[in-house]
Amino acid sequence: MFQVKTSLKQVVNIHIWQIKRESLADSVKFKFNSLLVQGARRGSKIITVNKRKFKLKSGFRYFLCVHLKGSEEKSG
C-alpha cells in the first residue's frame, strides 16, 4: 500500500493486488478526485501516481483500489 497526497492535501491510500494477467486490460488510467493513476502497458514494472513512480514486480497484472483515508464514501 502506498500513501500519496493529492493537490487538495488529502491523504489517499492505494492498495495494489497481484492478479492474473488475463484478468486486466493492457493498461489502466483513471482519475480519483485530483489523483491521477496510470498503469503502464504489459511488461512494464512501473505505475505512475501524480507523477510519482512506483516499481512493481514483473510478470503480473495489477488491480488498483484508491480511496481517501478515513472516508467511508465510495466514488466512481
Instruction: Evaluate if residue 51 carries a pLDDT over 60.
Output: yes
Closest among 36, 68, 40 to 55, alpha carbons compared: 40
Question: In this structure, what C-alpha cell is assigned to residue 14?
Answer: 492505494
Kindly report whether the global pTM for this prediction surpasses the value 0.85. Answer: no
HSE of 4, CA atoms in CB hemisphere, 13 A: 20
pLDDT band for 7, please (50, 70, 90 cuts).
low
